[in-house]
Amino acid sequence: MNPEYTQDDKTQIMSVLVYTESDQGTFKKAAFEVASYAKAVADQLGTSVTAISINVNDASPLGNFGVDKVLNVSNPSLNDFNAHTYASIIQQAAERESAQVVIVSSSADSKYLAPLLAVKLEAGYASNVIAEPSNTSPFTVKRNAFTNKAFELTQINTKIKILGVSNNAFGIVENSASASVEDFAPALPESGISVKSVDKASDKVTIADAEIVVSGGRGLKGPENWGMIEELAHVLGAATACSKPVSDLGWRPHGEHVGQTGKPVASNLYIAIGISGAIQHLAGVSASKTKVVINTDPEAPFFKAADYGVVGDAFQVVPELIEKLKAFKSQQ
Amino acid sequence: MKILVCISHVPDTTSKINFTESDTKFDTNGVQFVINPNDEFGLTRAMWFKEKQGAQVTVVNVGGADTEPTLRKALAIGADAAIRVNATATDGFFVAKQLANVVKEGEYDLVIAGRESIDYNGGMVPGMIAGLINANFVNNCIGLDIDGNNAKATREIDGGKETVSTSLPLVIGGQKGLVEESDLRIPNMRGIMMARKKPLNIVEPTSADAATSSVSFEKPAPKGAVTLVEPDNLDELVNLLHNEAKVI
Ligand SMILES: Cc1cc2nc3c(=O)[nH]c(=O)nc-3n(C[C@H](O)[C@H](O)[C@H](O)COP(=O)(O)OP(=O)(O)OC[C@H]3O[C@@H](n4cnc5c(N)ncnc54)[C@H](O)[C@@H]3O)c2cc1C
Ligand SMILES: Nc1ncnc2c1ncn2[C@@H]1O[C@H](COP(=O)(O)O)[C@@H](O)[C@H]1O
């Protein structure tokens, strides 16, 4: 609670707070999407948007997505993500701004910190939200449930509400304003968790951030055939993924397994190669907007869930598609 | 070490999802319920701690009497005791408050829950328990070793993994990778017989408000037919992706 403000002032300064994630000093794409979403919510509520960012070199680009004010925390001890500490920082920002709605993304980090934040703020939390609130009183949002097999309309009954926005569900909306940037120095609580080592491929697009995901299944016969999958992904600037048996067999790392029990995919384009389209696989990837299937078997269930399909042998289709895409890219 | 494994009782992964009562209730008709897959990995890791480090393993569910077969299955797999908090699991916060209460009363050192339930996909209960009892919390946990009061955990991060050191009391949100798929156990006859004699305690809920409520459900609009492209006409696919779908 901030003693400088009286009760009445507090209602006036009430705002929407959005946590904008960054990587090595630069905002992630998801930051611009959650900022755009926050602007839409703030417009509904007739209030402004404050963003909280951590160790960002230049926070002003958020203005292009409707953010009015940025609280930026700079502290080298925050370079490694820590859910407990980050949740505490967001809590302090929320209290300072008397935020009524707090918005986060659906990244692994945001999903990690949001429940901790919910306890600190005694806030109801709705995850996997896919559209702007359908009503603000009672506060109601639409979210994915049953691993994309259904949508749920959820009402949040608490004073403060936390929304986790599903990737690529709302999109980025330009909304030119100019954001003022303030330094923010919250108290940093002791954390009982310390990072010992990080093992991360820095040169690859991650499934969570990717707009395009190229995914391979058991139809590719063995790990030695993934060169063309990697190349297709490279040409498209895409992340690579795989079906569950492929990671169980050790052909690809576990982190690439997508589906109901693996990572969720909500990309703009999902290309499935040699994947049959079992219900557990489809459940986890069906939030992707456009799906392309390449499979020898015209009866493969995935064709029923796809937008575009090629009935053909991956070993012929994929190399040729790579050539066509290279030609296309060079004309752009 | 006392371990509490949180078990969410969910429709089998192949279930068709339907709703009743004007799309306000999940239709359980003909649906087979199972231990949430993320919790099955967690339970299996707990069995390892029991067998190798003498841990005591209790499983818990917040739910109605209809979830008891799922708890009995966890007992048949090898848990020592089960608790059912007798309440409808209406919302993540409500469930987390019930479970936090169970943890406090039973003085558990380690709480193993799943990254998310595959039904409501909230992904909130484990973190909320940790927040409520002031314990350390590791989400997306794919590896866990305990030595005395110290824990070493591996968690999946976007694009890789991370190893952290922490201490008990600890809550984890576990997932595939926590144990090998081949280590998952199917209850055998002996386990099923023994499970009948193990305690399944029913406790009444503490009062707590639900922070959220489910208003209604909707199924996605049926998908239009696929547009097929001949394998010798891939220029057309590139064209469609660029001009029609506008994704490249
Ligand atoms: C509890 C549970 C959870 C699960 N969770 C997941 C999950 O999260 N994600 C997941 O993916 N699976 C999951 N599964 C497994 C799922 O049921 C399927 O077994 C799996 O998705 C099949 O993988 P696949 O399509 O790669 O292999 P297959 O089903 O073997 O399909 C291979 C496909 O490749 C095609 N093919 C063969 N040769 C070629 C070629 N030369 N060119 C093109 N196509 C070719 C075939 O026609 C076939 O359709 C789960 C299962 C269970 C029981
Ligand atoms: N009703 C419940 N009873 C016991 N544990 C639960 C319940 N609901 C959720 N959990 C635990 O919390 C995890 C995450 O669930 P959720 O937050 O619902 O996605 C599950 O994998 C379980 O370990």
Stretch among A12-26, B45-59, B90-104 having the lowest mean pLDDT: A12-26
Pocket lining for ligand 2, CB < 6 angstroms: B 6-8, 36, 38-39, 60-63, 89, 92, 95, 113-114, 116-117, 120-126
pLDDT in tens, B97-126: 999 999 999 999 999 999 999 988 899 999
Same domain, A218 and A178: no
| Residues B120, B121, B122, B123, CA torsion sign | positive
Question: What is the whole-number distance in angstroms between the Cα of residue A280 and the centre of ligand 1?
Answer: 9
Residue type, A269: L
Instruction: Give φ, ψ of B19 to 5 degrees.
Output: -130, 155
Same domain, A282 and A151: no
Instruction: Give φ, ψ of A60 to 5 degrees.
Output: -60, -30
Same domain, A20 and A157: yes
Domain assignment present for residue A300? The answer is yes
Contacts of A327 (CB under 8 A, 6+ apart): none
Whether residue A204 is predicted with pLDDT greater than 90 in this model: the reply is: no
Neighbours of A329 (CB within 10 A): 13
**Over residues A151-170, mean pLDDT:** 96
**Residue of A22, A28, A116 to mutate, testing the B interface (most B Cβ within 10 Å of its Cβ):** A116
Q: Which atom of ligand 1 is nearest to the CA of A314?
A: 42
Same domain, A45 and A104: yes
Domain assignment present for residue A194? The answer is no
Pocket lining for ligand 1, CB < 6 angstroms: A 217-219, 243-246, 259-262, 274-276, 278, 280-281, 284, 294-297, 300, 313-315; B 13, 37
Q: How are beta strands A124-129 and A161-165 bridged, if at all?
A: parallel
Same domain, A157 and A39: yes
Question: What is the whole-number distance in angstroms between the Cα of residue B6 and the centre of ligand 1?
Answer: 29
Comparing CA positions, the residue from B105, B98, B158 lying closest to residue B132 is B98
Length of chain B: 248
Same domain, A163 and A238: no
What is the domain range of residue A75?
9-183
Say which ligand is closest to the CA of B36: 2
Q: Are A96 and A1 in contact (CB under 8 A)?
A: no
Q: Are A35 and A15 in contact (CB under 8 A)?
A: no
Same domain, A277 and A156: no
Comparing CA positions, the residue from B134, B213, B217, B62 lying closest to residue A124 is B213
Domain assignment present for residue A312? The answer is yes
Enumerate residues 43 to 82 of chain B having a beta carbon within 8 A of any beta carbon in chain A: none
* CA–CA gap between residue A238 and residue A217 (Å, rounded): 17
Assign A133 to helix, strand or coil.
coil
Neighbours of B222 (CB within 10 A): 5
pLDDT in tens, B57-96: 999 999 999 999 999 999 999 999 999 999 999 999 999 9
Q: Class of B2-219 per CATH?
A: alpha beta
- Whether residues B164 and A195 touch (CB distance < 8 A) is answered with yes
Please state, rounded to an integer, the average pLDDT across all residues of chain B: 96
Domain assignment present for residue A286? The answer is yes
For ligand 1, atom 25, name the residue with the nearest CA. Answer: A275
* CA–CA gap between residue A62 and residue A180 (Å, rounded): 10
Give percent above pLDDT 70 in chain B.
100
Give start and end residues of each alpha helix (H) in A189-271. Answer: 227-236, 244-248
Whether residue A4 is predicted with pLDDT greater than 50 in this model: the reply is: no
Q: How far is A173 from chain B (nearest CA, A)?
A: 17
Nearest Cβ partner for A269 among B14, B119, B248: B248
* CA–CA gap between residue A212 and residue B1 (Å, rounded): 45
Whether residue B174 is predicted with pLDDT greater than 90 in this model: the reply is: yes
pLDDT at residue A13, as a whole number? 56
* CA–CA gap between residue B238 and residue A303 (Å, rounded): 18
- Whether residues A283 and B152 touch (CB distance < 8 A) is answered with no
Q: Which atom of ligand 1 is nearest to the CA of A297?
A: 47
Contacts of A64 (CB under 8 A, 6+ apart): A32, A174, A175, A176, A177
ipTM of the complex: 0.95
CATH of residue A269's domain is: 3.40.50.1220
pLDDT category of residue A9 using cuts at 50, 70 and 90: very low
Q: How far is A236 from chain B (nearest CA, A)?
A: 8
pTM of the entire structure?
0.94
pLDDT in tens, A102-144: 999 999 999 999 999 999 999 999 999 999 999 999 999 999 9
Domain assignment present for residue A101? The answer is yes
Domain assignment present for residue A281? The answer is yes
Q: Are A152 and A53 in contact (CB under 8 A)?
A: no
- B210 Cβ under 8 Å from any chain A Cβ: yes
Number of structural domains found in chain A: 2
Q: Are A45 and A56 in contact (CB under 8 A)?
A: no
Whether residue A5 is predicted with pLDDT greater than 80 in this model: the reply is: no
pLDDT at residue A10, as a whole number? 41
Same domain, A84 and A174: yes
Please give the C-alpha separations between residue A132 and each of A164, A171, A288, B197, in angstroms, as whole numbers. Answer: 11, 11, 18, 51
Q: Which residue has the tokens 């908090």?
A: B85
Structure tokens at A56: 């960002």
* CA–CA gap between residue A328 and residue A325 (Å, rounded): 5
pLDDT in tens, A129-139: 999 999 999 99
Neighbour-count burial of A103, counting CB atoms closer than 10 A to its CB (0-12 exposed, 13-18 middle, 19+ buried) = buried
Same domain, A162 and A66: yes
Q: Which of B120, B125, B214 to mutate to test the pocket of ligand 2 (most atoms within 8 A of CB)?
A: B125
Using alpha carbons only, what angle is made at residue A86 by residues B144 and A159, rounded to the nearest 5 degrees?
A: 110
H/E segment holding residue B199: none
Domain assignment present for residue A205? The answer is no
Interhelix angle for A314-331 vs A227-236, to 10°? Answer: 20
Domain assignment present for residue A176? The answer is yes
- Using a CB-CB cut-off of 8 Å, the residues of chain B touching A206 are 158-159
